[in-house]
Homo-oligomer: A and B are copies of this chain.
Amino acid sequence: MTGSNDKTPGGPGRRLPRARAMEEFRAAPTFVLVEPQMGENIGATARAMLNFGVKSLRLVNPRDGWPNEKAGAMAAGASAVLDDVQVFDSLDAALHDSRYVIATTARRRELMLPVLELREAAATAQARIAAGDPCAVVFGGERNGLSSDDVARADAILSVPVNPAFASLNLAQAACLVAYEWSAAARAGAETEEVDEEALDRRPAERAHVASLVDHLIDALDRANYFRPPEKRPLMTRNLRVALSRAGFTSPEVQSLHGALKALERSGNAS
Contact = CB atoms under 8 A, between A and B. Distances in A.
Contacts of A172: 173
B184 A51 contact: no
- Size category of the A interface is 20 to 34
Contact of A187 (B161, B166, B173): B161
Contacts of A173: 44, 47-48, 51, 172-173, 176
Interface in A157-191: 160-163, 165-170, 172-173, 176-177, 180, 183-184, 187
A127 interface: no
A18 B165 CA distance: 8
B119 A166 contact: no
A20 to B, nearest CB: 10
A52 interface: yes
Interface stretch (A3-11, A76-84, A217-225): A76-84
B170 A21 contact: no
A231 B183 CA distance: 43
B183 A180 contact: no
A24 to B, nearest CB: 8
Contact of A161 (B17, B48, B167, B184): B184
Contacts of A36: none
A48 B80 contact: no
Contacts of A165: 17-18, 21
Contacts of A167: 51
Interface of A: 17-18, 21, 44, 47-48, 50-53, 76-78, 80, 119, 160-163, 165-170, 172-173, 176-177, 180, 183-184, 187
